[in-house]
């Protein structure tokens, strides 16, 4: 449960500033710099704090009235600021204290800018719950956000009929990083976007779409203000210019999306179906073989910024861009790598041998299958890799190009399995052919499921199955 009340007097507002925890003090100070005339804004607060067993990780969400900037065509709006993703207390009650030189807690707080409706005298409180949802994801997964990340939410952010159903993240245009005794805090702003804009961010990158949104006042403008009443995407507002810029960006840069959680399965067609020991669909009898710790770490790093395929508003990570010493999806290169921070290269678990397969059958549900062209055009043609990780088990499918280092699939043996992890190496020539054959996947509403694609000479088959049929494979 949450309550809305004026915030307690901020630092310097009374005779007892020492009562404020230093982390809280630092963020309040930045808010007071921006809003000196609003020392006591409305604030949503969790009745039972997270560190006392409550469900909401954010201790507070403050809500300010921002007058915008008429000269920059920035409308009046509500500005929301979270407190709790960073270390507010420094006593290990929520975050482990690691010193003042690095990030404080997760290293950031969330902000959100919502266009103020005419006659609106108080800020809506639903953005606070949205921010709590994102914070719950961060705490549960320990995946942090970075500028340019995209969030697949699959639901209007305010539970209305709005087209704004997903999010991008970027640096807040006004709030500056804060140095606290417990580390540095940056401010990441949530930007509401339409489904078409999310898809463009997936196929290209979030930063590119954010730059386009900044150039369209009604879609965000320079401060990226979210307008839940916006009825048109940037591609409908300016059909040719915006789409051309995205298409050129994809061709030049490729995609930053290196993996997704998905409904996927694979079978080794070079083995008799009754050979349960070497079958590699999602479940192997009643005892699916587990990925080794090293393999799990490799895939986890790949998927840490991947898109979650889920119809429920559960947060996914989005792109592969990382900070603070973690993996970054680097500039386009013909020499990508499957390395992670903890491993110089893939080191197969000694007890699970890597097998070369002659023929494989890949299975995806419709939403996962629709991302295959993105995988091929935006990743493999740029010398990169792309991983599907099953949301229901240990199964994983990684497509790699010939430029990827550390893969156990090779041009001589393009299909290789390490336990339930399948790697498929595709040459550029074969990728181009597959893109032609899979062209109808870009318009999934135009074909009926199930759909099957086959390349007999390559001994590769791909099936796109309805969710209901696909789910039966799991039982």
Residue 475: C-alpha distances to residues 116, 208, 416, 469 (Å) = 50, 42, 25, 11
Return the bridge partners of 389, or none: 261, 396
- Between CA 196 and CA 180 the distance in angstroms is 39
Helix (H, G, I), strand (E, B) or coil at 281: coil
pLDDT band at 6 (very low <50, low <70, confident <90, very high): low
Say what the pLDDT of residue 4 is.
61
Tokens representing residue 12 in the block? 């310097």
Rounded to two decimals, the pTM is: 0.72
> CATH homologous superfamily of domain 256-271+352-474?
Sufu, C-terminal domain (3.30.1360.230)
Which residue, 315, 112, 120, 317, is CA-closest to 224? Answer: 112
Residue 267: C-alpha distances to residues 357, 416, 419, 420 (Å) = 10, 12, 12, 10
Say what the pLDDT of residue 39 is.
94
CB 171 within 8 A of CB 93: no
Which range, 186-200, 292-306, 344-358, 406-420, has the best average confidence (pLDDT)? 186-200
Which residue has better confidence, 20 or 350? 20
Residue 389: C-alpha distances to residues 129, 130, 368, 399 (Å) = 29, 26, 10, 12
pLDDT band at 260 (very low <50, low <70, confident <90, very high): confident
Say what the pLDDT of residue 262 is.
87
pLDDT in tens, 369-424: 999 999 999 999 999 999 999 887 788 999 999 878 888 899 999 999 988 999 99
pLDDT band at 464 (very low <50, low <70, confident <90, very high): very high
Burial class (CB in 10 A: 0-12, 13-18, 19+), 55: exposed
pLDDT band at 295 (very low <50, low <70, confident <90, very high): low
Return the bridge partners of 387, or none: 259, 398
Name every residue whose Cβ is closer than 8 Å to that of residue 402 and which is 6 or more positions away in sequence.
Answer: 411, 425, 427, 428
Residue 391: Cβ within 10 Å count? 15
Q: Give me Rg for the CA atoms of the chain.
A: 24
- Supply the angle between the helices 239-253 and 195-203 in degrees, to the nearest 10: 30
Spell out the domain ranges in the chain. Answer: 20-251, 256-271+352-474
DSSP letter at 408?
Answer: S
Residue that is written with structure tokens 């150039």 in the block: 215
Residue 290: Cβ within 10 Å count? 14
Sheet holding 396-400, edge to edge: 307-308, 259-262, 385-390, 396-400, 421-425, 415-418, 354-356
CB 405 within 8 A of CB 333: no
pLDDT in tens, 130-176: 999 999 999 988 888 999 998 889 899 999 999 999 999 999 999 99
- Between CA 259 and CA 282 the distance in angstroms is 18
Which residue has better confidence, 134 or 367? 134
Residue that is written with structure tokens 């001589």 in the block: 412
pLDDT in tens, 267-285: 999 876 544 444 333 332 3
CB 45 within 8 A of CB 5: yes
Which residue has better confidence, 30 or 402? 30
Residue 86 has pLDDT above 80, yes or no: yes
Say what the pLDDT of residue 300 is.
61
């Amino acid at each position: 449960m949450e309550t809305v009340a004026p915030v307690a007097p901020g630092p310097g507002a009374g005779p007892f500033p020492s009562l404020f925890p230093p982390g809280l003090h630092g963020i309040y100070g930045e808010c007071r710099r921006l809003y000196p005339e609003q020392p006591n804004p409305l604030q949503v607060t969790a009745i039972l704090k997270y560190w006392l067993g409550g469900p909401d990780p954010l201790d507070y969400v403050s809500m300010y009235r921002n007058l915008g900037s008429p000269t920059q065509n920035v409308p009046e709006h509500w500005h929301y600021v979270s407190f709790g993703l960073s270390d507010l207390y420094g006593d290990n009650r929520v975050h482990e204290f690691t010193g003042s030189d690095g990030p404080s807690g997760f290293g950031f707080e969330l902000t959100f800018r919502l266009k103020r409706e005419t006659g609106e005298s108080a800020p809506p409180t639903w953005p606070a719950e949205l921010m709590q949802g994102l914070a719950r994801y961060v705490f549960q997964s320990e995946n942090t956000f970075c500028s340019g990340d995209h969030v697949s939410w699959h639901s209007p952010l305010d539970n209305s009929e709005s087209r704004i159903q997903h999010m991008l993240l970027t640096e807040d245009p006004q709030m500056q990083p804060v140095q606290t005794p417990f580390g540095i805090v940056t401010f990441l702003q949530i930007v509401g976007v339409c489904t078409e804009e999310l898809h463009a961010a997936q196929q290209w990158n979030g930063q590119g779409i954010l730059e386009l949104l900044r150039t369209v006042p009604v879609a965000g403008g320079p401060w990226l203000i979210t307008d839940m009443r916006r009825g048109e995407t940037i591609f409908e507002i300016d059909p040719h210019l915006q789409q051309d810029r995205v298409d050129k960006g994809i061709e030049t840069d490729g995609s930053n999306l290196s993996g997704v959680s998905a409904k996927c399965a694979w079978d080794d067609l070079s083995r008799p179906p009754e050979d349960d020991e070497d079958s590699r669909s999602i479940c192997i009898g009643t005892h699916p073989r587990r990925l080794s710790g090293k393999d799990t770490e490799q895939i986890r790093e790949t998927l840490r910024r991947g898109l979650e395929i889920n119809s429920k508003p559960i947060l996914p990570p989005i792109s592969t861009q990382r900070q603070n010493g973690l993996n970054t999806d680097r500039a386009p290169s013909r020499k990508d790598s499957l390395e992670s921070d903890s491993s110089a290269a893939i080191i197969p678990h000694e007890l699970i041998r890597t097998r070369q397969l002659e023929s494989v059958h890949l299975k995806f549900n419709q939403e996962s299958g629709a991302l295959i062209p993105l995988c091929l055009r935006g990743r493999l043609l740029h010398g990169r890799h792309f991983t599907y990780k099953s949301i229901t088990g240990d199964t994983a499918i990684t497509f790699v190009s010939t430029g990827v280092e550390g893969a156990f699939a090779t041009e001589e043996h393009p299909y290789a399995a390490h336990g339930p992890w399948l790697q498929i190496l595709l040459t550029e020539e074969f990728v181009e052919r597959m893109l032609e054959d899979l062209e109808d996947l870009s318009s999934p509403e135009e074909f009926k499921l199930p759909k099957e694609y086959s390349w007999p000479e390559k001994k590769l088959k791909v099936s796109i199955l309805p969710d209901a049929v696909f789910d039966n494979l799991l039982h």
